[in-house]
Structure 1
Amino acid sequence: MLEITLLPARSDNYIFLGHDPATGFRFVVDPADAEPVWAALAGQRLDAILNTHHHGDHVGGNLALKDATGCTIIGPAADRDRIPGIDRAVADGDTVMLGSLAAQVMDVPGHTRGHIAYYAAAAQALFCGDTMFALGCGRLFEGTPAQMWAALTRFRALPDATRVYCAHEYTESNLRFAEHLLPGDPALAAYGAEIRAKRAHGLPTVPALIGVERAASPFLRADEAGMAARLGLPPGSDAVTIFAEIRSRKDRF
C-alpha cells in the first residue's frame, strides 16, 4: 500500500522516500540533504516533505527541494519558527494524507521541544525522527525524561508489526550499550544476532519492529518488574526515574 525507500545520507542518516501507488503521491521524511532525494526521484514529482523536528540533519534539504518542486512542507506546530519553508504546521491528533493513506500526527517532545511523529496505521509505518531508535532513543536536548518516557510508551502501544522508520543507523552502538546494561537477556541476545548479521552484510537495521523493540530495548522496559533492582535503584522507583537513569548511563557510555 505504501512503498518506502531508505536513502542513506551524511554519515548515518536515513531519509525516507514514500510513494503511494494508488495516487502517485510522493513524499520525503526528514531530508538531511537534497542530493540523495534528487537521485532517487529521477525526475519524478515530489508532493510533500514531512519534518519531525528542526535539527539541520532533518531539514537541511527543505528549501532546495521546495524551490525545485513546489512541494508542501509539513512540520510541527510547536516548532514552526525553526522549520525552514514550512507551509503547514501540525500537532497531536492532526491527519496528514499521504495520497490515499492517512497518517496520524503524534506530539512526542523530549529530544526537542516540538518533536512530532507520523503514524500511518494502514501501512504499519511509524516515522519517528529521533525520538526512538532501534534499541535506543534520542538524547534529551530540549525535553525531560518524563516527556520522552511518555512518547516511548505511546510508541510501544502500537501493534507489534508496526515498522519503525527512525532516522539514524545507531543500532550497533545501542546494542553494545543494551548488552552492557542487561547481560544475558534472552530477547536482546536473539535481536543482537540478527542486527550483527545484517550489519556484517552492509544491510540497514531500519525499519525496526515495535514488537521486537518492546521485548528487547531497555528504553521501552523502564517499568518492567525487576528493572530497578538490575540498575541498583531503590525498590519502588517509578518508571520515569528508571528511564532517566538508563538515558543517563547511555549518555556516559
Structure 2
Amino acid sequence: MIQIQALPAFSDNYIWLLQDAVNQRCAVVDPGDAAPVLAWLQAHADWQLTDILITHHHHDHVGGVEQLKAHTGARVSGPANERIPARDQALNDNDRLEVLGLEFQVFAVPGHTLGHIAYYCAQPQLPMLFCGDTLFAAGCGRLFEGTPEQMHHSLERLAALPAATQVYCAHEYTLSNLRFACAVEPQNPHVIQRFEDVTALRAQDRITLPSTIALEKLTNPFLRVAETSVKQKIDERVGRINPTPSAVFSGLRAWKDTF
C-alpha cells in the first residue's frame, strides 16, 4: 500500500508525498517549493524520489521542480499543453503513467488553466485523484484561462469517478469554500454538518483533506448545479432562468469570485 502525506508549503498549499515504504521510493505532486520535499528527503536519507507529477503551470505548483530534479534526478511528468520546467514526460488526455508500481490515468480538466490535468489511480482498495486546482474540497478553482463550460465539463468528469475516490486537491480552502456552500444551500444538512466538522479541525490547525467524491457530491455546490435548490438560488441572484447546468455553474462561479 502507498502511504500519502501532505507537506505544507507557502500559506495554504499542499505538496502530496506518495510513499512506497517497501522499496523506500517516493513521488511528489505539484512541488511549488523544493524546501519541504528536500527536508523530508534529508530526514529519510535512504529514500529515493523517483517521480514529480505536475497538474498545471502556476508557480506555486512548479516552483520547486528544477531544484528537486537537479538534486534527485526524478522523472518530471506534466501536461503536454503547458510550459512545465524540466519536464521529461508530456502527458495528454487518457495517457497512462506508472508511478511507484501504480497505474495512473491522465484526465484533461481545462478551466483553471487550459492545459490542466488530473491524475487518477483506480486501485480497488483505495482509488485516488490528484486534481490540482480543478476540484477543491467544497469548491473549485478560479477560471484564469478556461471558460465556465470547460470547467463544468471537467468537474462533471471528476464527479463521475467512484464514490470512494480519495480527492487530493492542492490547497487548504475547505473552510472558506464551505462558508460559500452554506450561503448557496443554507438548508442542506450535509453542508451544515461538514461546516461544523471543518471549523473544529481548522481550530486545531488540522488538515481537512483528503475528501471523497461522495462527500463532494453532497456538499460541493459546483458539483450540485443540477440540484433544484442550487439552480433556484442562482436564478434568483441573476434575475433570470438559467436553462442549463453549465449556465448555473457560470452564475455560481461568478458569485463565488466576489463572495
Coarse TM-score class (shorter-chain normalised): over 0.9
TM-score in terms of structure 1 length: 0.95
Determine which of 143, 149, 154 is the counterpart of 2:152: 149
Residue 253 of structure 2 is matched in structure 1 by 247
CA distances 1:144-195 after superposition (whole Å, capped 9, x unpaired): 1111111111111111211111000011111111112221211101111211
Cα RMSD, aligned residues only:
1.3
* CA–CA distance in structure 2, aligned partners of residues 14 and 226 of structure 1: 32
What does residue 76 of structure 1 align with?
79
Does structure 2 retain, via aligned residues, the 8 Å contact 1:145–1:240?
Answer: yes
Residue 93 in structure 1 maps to residue 94 in structure 2: yes
| TM-score, normalised with respect to structure 2 | 0.93
Q: Which residue does 2:14 correspond to in 1?
A: 14
**Aligned partners of 1:106 and 1:214: how far apart in 2?**
19
Which residue in 1 is equivalent to 2:33?
A: 33
More off after superposition, 195-204 vs 6-15: 195-204
In structure 2, give the amino acid aligned to 1:251: D
Q: Could you tell me how far 1:227 is from its partner in structure 2? A: 2.7
Residue 179 (structure 1) aligned with residue 182 (structure 2): yes
Name the SS of the counterpart of 2:167 in structure 1: strand
Cα distance, 1:24 vs structure 2? 3.7
Aligned equivalents of 2:168, 2:48: Cα separation in 1? 22
Within the alignment, does 1:130 sit opposite 2:137 as a pair? Answer: no
- Cα distance between partner residues in 2 of 1:78 and 1:183: 40
Aligned to 2:244: 238
Where do 5+ consecutive residues of structure 1 fail to align? none
Equivalent pair of 2:242/2:248 in contact (CA under 8 Å): no
* Matched ranges for 1:100-139 at <5 A: 100-122=101-123, 123-139=126-142
SS at match of 1:46: strand
Q: How far apart, in 2, do the equivalents of 1:66 and 1:38 lie?
A: 11
Q: Is the 8 A contact 1:24 1:99 kept in 2?
A: no
Which residue of the partner structure matches residue 217 of structure 1?
A: 220
